[in-house]
Amino acid sequence: MFGYYLELALRSLRRNKVLTALMVLAIALGIGASMTTLTVLHVLSGDPVPGRSSTLYYPQIDPRDMSGYLPGKSQPMYQMSWIDGMNLLRAKRADRQALMTGGLVAVQPHNTMLDPFYEAARFTTADFFPMFGVPFEYGHPWHAADDEAHARVVVISAALDDKLFGGKDSTGKTLRLSGVAFRVVGVLGDWHPNPQFYDLLRKSFGENEGVYVPLSTSQDVGMNHDGSTDCWGNGGSGKNPSHTAPCAWLQFWVQLDTPTRAAAYKTFLVHYSEQQKALGRFQRPPNVRLRDVMQWLDYNRVVPDNVRLQTWLALGFLLVCLVNTVGLMLAKFMRRAPELGVRRALGASKRALFAQLLVESGLVGLAGGTGGLLLALLGLSLVRRQPAEYAPLAHLDPAMLLVTFLLALGASLLAGLLPAWRACQIAPALRLKSN
Amino acid sequence: MAIRSTEIRPILASLRKHRIPALLIVLEIALACAVLCNAVFMISQRVSDIQLPSAIDQQGLVTVSLRGTDDKLVGSDIPRNLAALRGIAGVQQAAVTTSLPLSHNNWGWSFGVSPDSAVANRKNINVSLYFLGEGGGKALGLHVLQGRFFNADEFAGSKFDTAALPETHVVVMTRTAASRFWPGQSALGKTIYSKPFYYTVVGVVDDVLRPNVYTQNTSKSYDAIYFPMSAAGSKGAFSYYILRGAPKDRDRIMREAEQKLAELNPGAVAKGKIYMDIRNDYFADMRSMAWMLVLVCAVMLAVTAFGIVGLTSFWVGQRRRQIGIRRAVGATRGQILGYFRTENFLLSTAGVLIGMLLAFGINLYLMQHYEMSRMPWYYLPAGAVTLWLLGQLAVLGPALRAASVPPVEATRSV
C-alpha cells in the first residue's frame, strides 16, 4: 500500500514542478537556517567534562572590605587570592582540589630551526589532571610531592609535542621555558574541553594551553601571569600579582563526589569565612557560592547572546517557511480535488486519502531535509570562517544530523496535516457532478 | 488605489468562503512583518556600533607590541627603540602607550569628585585609563578641546610606585568623561579623587573610545582618561609602540618597525598591526551578524512573496469561471485586476496590524532577556509599508493572469 502511495505522490509532485520546487525550497531554507544556528548553540552549550561535571565545583568566597557591599546582592569574589587559595588547598576538605592560574611562557626550543615563541601556560597543582580526567599520550602527570618540592617538571600538549619533538615520546627530555630548564614528564592526549570552563576569563572557547607547570615552580621562576587580576582596598600593581596583596587572580576547583560532601564543603567555606573575619582578614559577612560546572557556565553566560538571538531568529524564519509550505500544500491539494473526488467515489476511504496526502507531504519534507542539510553544511562552513572564538567548533555531529531529518519530516507532516484534512472533506458527488 | 465600499463587500464575502487560505496569507504577512522589524532594528544597531566615532588618527596609526623584554631596562630601552622607529621613512610621530581604543586591553578604575572618594565607592564613575609616554598625544592624534596636553616635565615626573595608579597629579579626559564628572560645568582645574590619589584636569580632548565598548549604553563607551607616564617609571606597563604616518605608508611602516624592534631586542617578540585591523577585528563578530541578518531578511521576504504568489494563483485558478462571468456581464480587465489587488491589500492590512503587535511583543521579550533596547516606533510602519508593497508586487502576476481570463470562460464548465 505504502509503495502505491509513494508512486502516486511522486507522480503528483512531478505534475506541478514549480509548486513542488517552491515547497522543497521553503522547507530547505527554514531547516538549513535553523539547523545551522541550533548546531552552534548545541556545540556551545555542551558539557566540557562529560561524566564529571556534576562532581566538579568552583568555590567562591568574599575576602573584600565593606565598601560597595550590598547585603544579599553582592556576588563573592570571582577568583581566589593566593592566601585563601593556599589555605583552602591545604585544608584538603574535598575529594580532590587544584589551585591554578593562567600564564605566558617563552619556549626556547633545542631545535635551532625554530625561533623562540610564546605559549599559553597553566600553572596548577597536581590534582588538575586526575580531577578533570585529562588523558595522557605519553608519561604521566606530576605528583603532589612535585608541587611541594617545587620540581622543574612540565607537561605539554600534543600540539606542542608535535611542534617541538615531531610528535614522538618526549618524556624525560629537557625543555627550556623562560630561561630555565624543565624536564618533560608527560604529553597530553586528545583533550579539548570546550567551553574552557576552568578559566573563563582567559577565553571561553578554543585551544587549551600548551604548557602545564607546577604552580609553586612557576612562582619561583617568576613566570608571567596572564589573566585577570582583581584587587580591592589598596591593591597591588605590576604585571605579576604579589602573594600578599589583596588581589584575586587564581582559580580554585574541587571535586566533591556526593551531594552530601558538597553541602558539607559549603558549610566549611562559611566556617572558613567566619574564621578569617574573626582574624580580621575578612570584613564582610560570609558570602560564599559553590557552583558545579554547568551552573558555573550558566552563571557566566558562556553561550554568547548573539548565538541565542540568531537561534530565535532562525526559528522565526522556519515558522515563516512552514506557514508558507502550509499555504502552498493547500493550494496543491485543493487543485487535485476532482481527482480525489473520483477516488472517493470509487471507494477509497477518507483515511486512505489522508494517508496518501501525508505521504506526499512527507516526501516533500525528506527532499527539503536533504536540501536543508546541504544548506546547514554550507552555513556551518560560513560560521567556521568567522573570527569568533567558538567558530572552529561549529561542526555537525550525528545527533544533530538525525535532528535535521526529524525536524524536516515533522515540519512537513505538520504542514501537510491541515491541507490534507481539508482536501478529504470534499463531498465526492459534488466533485463528480462538476466534472 | 481608490477603494469603494461597493468593491469591498463582494471581496469580504468571497474571503469568508475561503477562510483558511485567507488566514494563511494573513499569518504569513504577520510573521514576516514581526521578524522583519526586529531583524532590521538589530541590523541598524549593529551598524551604528560598528561606526562609533573615535577621535584619533585611526587611518594612519600603526601599532607594534613587544614582548619578552626585561622590565628593569625599559627606562633606556624605550627611548632607544623610539629613536630608531622615528628614523623609519614616513613616520611622523612615535610613542608608547599602555592600551588602545578597542584593543580589549582595559585598565579600569573608578574616581569620585569629593576628596574622601575611595576606589570602591558606589557613587564613583568607572573610567578606562590610558597611560601615554611622551609624544603620545600627537602620535594618537588626540584633539585637545580645552586646556592643554601634558608637558615634558609631567611626562618625566610620572611613575608607578606600589599602587596601580601613577604618582602624578595631572590628568586629561574625554569630553564625555568630563561632562559625566561635572555635568554642565567646565572640567578644567577641577580634581578627581581615589583615596589617597588625586589628579587635576589640565585638558579635555574630543571623545575617544575605551578598550571595550558598551553596545547598549554607547555614551559610556567614551569614559576614558589619560595619564602621563615616564619610560623609566612604567614598570613594563607600556604594551604598544604607536607610529603615525600617512595611510598609504602604513603597511610598509609596520613591517619596517617590526624588523627594527626585533633587531634591537634579540630574544623578544615584536608583532605589528595596523590600527584599523584592531578596530575591524573588534567589530568582526558584529559585522558577520549584521550580514547574516540581511541574508535572512532577504530570503524571508522572497519566501513570503512566493507564498503569496502560490496561494493567489491557486485562488485565481479556482475562480476562473466566476471571473469569466464578471467579464461577460461587463467588468473591465482593470476592475478584475483591482479586485485581486484590493483583496491582497485587505489581507496585508490585517497581516501587518497583527505583525506590528507581534513585532512590538518580540522586542519587549528581547529587551527583557537580551542586550536589546526599545525599537523606535517608526520601525513598525516602515515594516508595514514594506509588506504592503511586497504583497502588491506578489499579487500582480496572478492578478494579471486573472484579468486576462476571457469572458467566454463563463460558458465553460471548470
What cell numbers appear for A411 in the block?
Answer: 515540519
Q: What percent of chain A has pLDDT over 90?
A: 37
What is the residue range of A420's domain? 2-45+304-434
pTM greater than the 0.90 cutoff: no
Residues A379 and A330 in one domain: yes
Q: Is the ipTM of this structure higher than 0.95?
A: no
Q: What is the pLDDT of residue B290?
A: 87
Cβ separation A328–B28 shorter than 8 A: no
3-class secondary structure, B193:
strand
pLDDT of A234 above 70: no
- Boundaries of every domain in chain B: 5-52+283-411, 69-267
Residue B14's alpha-carbon distances to A281, B18, B396, in angstroms, are: 82, 7, 19
Indicate yes or no: CB of B370 within 8 angstroms of CB of A22. no
Domain assignment present for A93? yes
Q: Count structural domains, chain A.
A: 2
d(CA A269, CA A194): 28
Using a pLDDT cut of 70, give the percent of chain B over it.
96
Decide the pairing of beta strands B61-67 and B269-274: antiparallel
CB atoms A236 and B163 under 8 Å: yes
From chain A, the residues in CB contact with B120 under 8 A are 64-65, 67-68, 232
d(CA A52, CA A197): 12
Residue A267 sits in the same domain as residue A343: no
Is A346 contained in some domain?
yes
Q: What are phi and psi of A319, to 5 degrees?
A: -65, -45
Q: Based on the fold, state whether residues A317 and A382 are members of the same structural domain.
A: yes
Instruction: Tell me how far apart the alpha carbons of residues A153 and A316 are, in angstroms, rounded to a whole number.
Output: 54
A317 vs B27, B163, B296: nearest CB:
B296
Q: What is the mean pLDDT of residues A290-308?
A: 88
Put simply, the chain B residues between 42 and 81 with a CB less than 8 A from any chain A CB are: 42, 67-68, 71
B318 contacts in chain A (CB < 8 Å): 334-335
Pick from A234, A309, A317: CB nearest B35: A317
Q: Say whether pLDDT at A238 is over 60.
A: no
Residues A23 and A104 in one domain: no
Are A399 and A365 found together in one domain?
Answer: yes
Contact at CB, A26 and B307, closer than 8 angstroms: yes
- Give the residue among A325, A314, A17 at the shortest CA–CA distance from B299: A314
Q: What is the pLDDT of residue B1?
A: 47
Q: Hey, is the C-beta of B385 within 8 angstroms of any chain A C-beta?
A: no
A239/B317 CB distance under 8 A: no
- Three-state DSSP class for B73? helix
| Residue A24, domain member (yes or no) | yes
Does residue A129 sit in the same domain as residue A225? yes
Give me chain B's average pLDDT, please: 88
Average pLDDT, chain A: 87
How many CB pairs lie under 8 A apart between chains A and B?
Answer: 140
Q: How far is A51 from chain B (nearest CA, A)?
A: 30
Q: Which chain B residues are closer than 8 Å to A326 by Cβ?
A: 24
With a CB cutoff of 8 Å and minimum separation 6, the contacts of B117 are B111, B123, B124, B193, B194, B195
Say if residue B3's pLDDT is above 60: no
Considering the domain architecture, whether residues A324 and A292 belong to the same structural domain is answered as: no
Q: Kindly report, residue by residue over B50-96, the tens digit of the pLDDT.
A: 889 999 999 999 999 887 777 778 888 899 999 999 999 999 999 99
Residues A386, B237: C-beta atoms closer than 8 Å: no
Contact B414, B329 (CB under 8 A): no
What are residue B126's DSSP bridge partners? B110
What pLDDT band is residue A432 in, cutting at 50, 70 and 90? low
Q: Do A318 and A375 fall within a single domain?
A: yes
Residues 262-291 of B with CB under 8 A from A: 267, 269, 281, 284-285, 288-289
What pLDDT, on a 0 to 100 scale, did the predictor assign at position B281?
Answer: 87
Put simply, whether B246 touches A (Cβ < 8 Å) is: no
For A418, nearest residue in chain B (alpha carbons): B20
The answer to whether residue A50 sits within a structural domain is no
Picking from B122, B163, B307, the nearest residue to A234 by CB comes out as B163
Chain B residues in contact with A309 (beta carbon < 8 A): 42, 366, 370
Chain B residues touching A26 at Cβ < 8 A: 303, 306-307
Q: Confirm whether A186 is domain-assigned.
A: yes
| A51 occurs within a structural domain | no
Angstroms from A206 CA to nearest CA on chain B:
16
Angle at B237 between CA B235 and CA B241, to 5 degrees: 125
Residue in A235, A305, A313 closest to B371 by CB = A305
A382 and A278: one domain? Answer: no
A112 and A83 housed in the same domain: yes
pLDDT at position A117, please? 82
Residue where a domain terminates, one of A247, A264, A299: A299
Which tens digit of pLDDT belongs to each residue from B93-130? 999 999 999 988 888 888 888 887 665 566 788 899 99
For residue A104, tell me if it sits in a domain: yes
